[in-house]
Structure formats: structure tokens, C-alpha cells
Structure 1
Amino acid sequence: MKYAVITGASKGLGEAIAKSLIAKQFAVVTVSRTENEKLKMMAQEKGTSYQHFSCNLSLESEVQEVFMEITHRVFQKEPSDIFVFNNAGVIEPIATVGHLDKTPIDRNITVNLTAPIMITNLFLHKAQFSDTAVHIINITSGAAVRPIQGWSVYCSAKAGLNMFTQTVASEQAALQTKHSIIAFSPGIMDTDMQATIRSSSEKAFKDLKKFQEYQEKGMLLKPDMVANALIDLTLSGNVESGKIYNVNDLLN
């Protein structure tokens, strides 16, 4: 049996990933503050294993506690493969440096960077005592590789996530394990995060009008399309551990 663990699965890309994997008869574990009842019903209809864990990923102690429980339960099942999608993310604070507040800075770094590090660490630690192959998929952003005014914290967190991905891949290669880790940039999608971006001020975010035009001109990618491209890549058997993938390269 193959397991998938997905953070931020209540909506957007996380929900789309979960739907795709439930349809493929994966055992799915979703993690978010609120449960998506549609996923639960879909799993029941498909007769697949499904479990939800409530977790506030901005609280490090909660991440540690919840994922210690998840790793314990999942590895008990002795699956052949575990796919971990570190998908949850937050864009705020959107503001220029000099106008940032500490609380949203802490939340952004914890959700976008610290939590994926902690989760990856727990799964790879547990994997040392198992024959299960662990595959980590970190959802990154184009903001990781180019500065965007107003997004200094988000850009920095995602850049850190990319470097973490590459470093872990190097370590696992040196250890000659069968585990893999990649980062995946999903492009500009039609999600709540984009709505948050469009509701910011032009003073705080220089490219506001450009992002508003993405919606007006129908240029936003649908989460289901992005999720299907990601799942096809993940299950292809041709994943290059440590690589930063971009959805646009997969859709062309």
C-alpha cells in the first residue's frame, strides 16, 4: 500500500492533490486546521483509507506532536512508499521592510519553512527503522528565485525551502538511501492566496495591478490541473531528487 500525507489539504492545491490520490486508491492522511468533508466522503465512496489530523502549522509544538503521531501510525502499516506533500503556505505579511510586524513574520517562517523541515526530519528519522521509501514534495514558489517587493518574508522562506530540499537530497544520496525530495513551483493559481494578494495595497505590494490582471484576463491556473501535473511527475518514476520543478515546464 502507498500512503500520501498532505498539509493544507482543506482547499486549493492541497485539496486537489488529495482528490487525485484518493482516486488512485492511495491511503490519504490530510493535515489542516479544518477538515474537508468532501474528501472524507470521496474516500468513503472509493473505499480507500482516509484520516484527518487537525493541526495549526504555525505552532511548532503542535507540528511536532501531531506529526509524531502521524509517522507512528503510518509506519505501523508498513507501506511500500510514503509521499509527503508539504503544501501548506501563507503569503502574509505583505509589506515593505520597515513596516513589518513580528507575529506575521513568525507565522510565515514557521508555516513555509520550519514546519516542512520538522516534518521531513520526523519522516526520515522514522524511515531509518523501516523498508519504506519516503518521498518528500515541498511546494515552493517562483518567489524563491526572484525578489518581489512587499514579499520579503515569503521570498526568503521559499528560498530557504529550496535550499533545504537540495541539501537533504545531497545527504540522502551520500547515505545511499532510496528516499527522494523535490521542490515544486505550482505557478500562479486560482486560490485563496491569490485573493489575499489582490486585496493588498499598492503601497505595500508594487506588482498589485499585475496580479489583478492575471485574474481579469483568465491567466490563473486551476488547482486540479496543477495537481494532476504534479502527481504525474511524482509517480512517473523519473523524479530527480533535489531538483526544483516548475509546473510550466510540465504543462508545455
Structure 2
Amino acid sequence: MVYAIITGASRGLGAAAAKQLLAEANVISVSRAENEDLRNLAENSDREYIHYTCDLADSSEVQSVFKKIADSVFKQEPDAIYLINNAGMVDPIETAGNLDEEKTAASVNVNLLAPMIISNIFLEKAEASDARLVIANVSSGAGSRPIQGWGVYCSTKAGINMFTQTAALELENRSSRHKIFAFSPGVMDTDMQSTIRSASKSAFNDIETFKKYKEEGMLRDADTVAGALIKVLRSETIENGKIYQINALL
């Protein structure tokens, strides 16, 4: 028996991954709104599906919801647990000195703090379980280079990369069976891309490049990217702490 817990499963990569994983795992989706297509698909499968509503920008709510989820999942004594920290926000797209403080705080909470809290809860529970825990933190190429207007997004993705690598080192040092890795999905045709294309030129110098991605059909579809992510999750030879790049997987 396998459980998959996916944040941001209402749309984009999260929804695509949830739909594909329903073929082999019980799926728990976590987001502010539920994907009705996912529920309908689950009703025609023999897998368990549960949705939890959670505002990932609220750290106290994240702790409460995910402790409840972890207690429920580990009680089932599954063979494996896939935890996909997928939810993310690219806002605020703005230069330093012009950032909206509330949006900045929300972005840090969703992109960095929430995955850290969630991973911590599941790693703690996993130590007393026979289940194999595999954590996938969705990252970005923006975590390894500066991009004008993306100071918050770049910083949070760099942070999640370092957290992943550090947690992996700690797992390796105690010869743990659990795995944690980061996954960089490249440019996908999702709502986040729409947000990026709606930014101002003064805030985001590279906006024309991203408009070109859309106009010339250079954006990958979420189903293809989700398939690559799931392939890593299933692997018996996951490299702890590795930042897997989509181009190397397709």
C-alpha cells in the first residue's frame, strides 16, 4: 500500500501528478480549493482519495493540518509514502525596494517554510514506522541564479534546495532508508506562467522571453513533467539530496 500526499494539487503540476498517481497510490491532496476533476476520477478508481483544505501561507494551519494527515497516514502502516511539496507562488514579481511586504511573507511561507514544516513532521513520524518515506521538493532553475524581479522566488527556491541537501546529508549520516530530493520542472504551461507574463517590464526584464515561450509553443505540458517526477519517486536508486533537472529525465 502506497500513499501520496501532494500540496498544490488543485491545478498544474500538482493536479497532473495526483491524477497519474491515482493509478497506483492512495492520494491526499492539499490546497485551498479542491480539483473536482480529480475527485471525479478518484470515484472511478479503487484508490482512496481525500482532500484537505489548507492555506499554506499560514504556518500554524500547516502544522495543524499536516500533523492530522501524518497521524492518519502512518496509522495505516503503508509500505511507502510519497510526499510532494509542490505548491508555490511566483508573486511578488517586483524589484527590491518595491516589494509588497504581505505578498513577500506569503511567498516565503508557501515556497519555503511550509515544505520545511511538512517535511519535518513526516520525517519525525517516519522514524518510528516501517514505511519508506520519499520527499520530493519542487524547485526551480531560479534557485540557482538571480533573475530581476524574482528576488523572493529565487531566494525561496535556493532555500528549498539547501534544505533538501542538508536533510539528505542528515539522512545519509544516520543510514536512513528515507529519501529526499528536489525536482526542477523547467517551464510549464500553467497558471504561474500566466502570472509571469502579466508582470510589468520595469519589474521583470525577461518578460518578452517568457511571452515567446508561450507564443512559440515552448512550454511543456504538466502531464509530461508530472510523469518525469513520478518516475524519480518510483526509483529504487534515488540519489539523496539531488536536484533532478527535467531535461535530464526526458
* TM surpasses 0.5: yes
> In which range does the TM-score fall when normalised by the shorter chain?
over 0.9
2:37 corresponding residue in structure 1: 38
The within-5 A match list for 1:106-117 is 106-117=105-116
How far apart are residue 55 of structure 1 and its match?
A: 0.2
1:147 corresponding residue in structure 2: 146
1:73 paired with 2:72, answer: yes
2:155 corresponding residue in structure 1: 156
1:196 corresponding residue in structure 2: 195
User: For 1:94, what is the secondary structure of its paired residue?
Assistant: coil
In the alignment, the residues of structure 1 paired with residue 110 and residue 235 of structure 2 have an alpha-carbon distance, to the nearest angstrom, of: 28
In the alignment, the residues of structure 1 paired with residue 129 and residue 159 of structure 2 have an alpha-carbon distance, to the nearest angstrom, of: 29
1:235 corresponding residue in structure 2: 234
Counterpart amino acid of residue 219 in structure 1: M
Deviations 1:189-225 (A, max 9, x none): 0000000000010000000000000000000010000
How far apart are residue 183 of structure 1 and its match?
A: 0.1
Deviations 1:11-54 (A, max 9, x none): 0000000011002x201000000111111111110111110000
In the alignment, the residues of structure 2 paired with residue 80 and residue 161 of structure 1 have an alpha-carbon distance, to the nearest angstrom, of: 27
Structure 1: segments with no counterpart, 5+ residues: none
User: For 1:229, what is the secondary structure of its paired residue?
Assistant: helix
How far apart are residue 236 of structure 1 and its match?
A: 2.2
Runs (4+) off by over 6 Å: none
1:14 corresponding residue in structure 2: 14
2:25 corresponding residue in structure 1: 26
The within-5 A match list for 1:59-98 is 59-98=58-97
RMSD of equivalent CA atoms: 0.6
Provide the TM-score with structure 1 as the length reference.
0.98
In the alignment, the residues of structure 2 paired with residue 56 and residue 184 of structure 1 have an alpha-carbon distance, to the nearest angstrom, of: 23
Provide the TM-score with structure 2 as the length reference.
0.99
In the alignment, the residues of structure 1 paired with residue 39 and residue 74 of structure 2 have an alpha-carbon distance, to the nearest angstrom, of: 22
Identity value in percent: 53
User: For 2:219, what is the secondary structure of its paired residue?
Assistant: coil
How far apart are residue 120 of structure 1 and its match?
A: 0.2
In the alignment, the residues of structure 2 paired with residue 129 and residue 191 of structure 1 have an alpha-carbon distance, to the nearest angstrom, of: 38
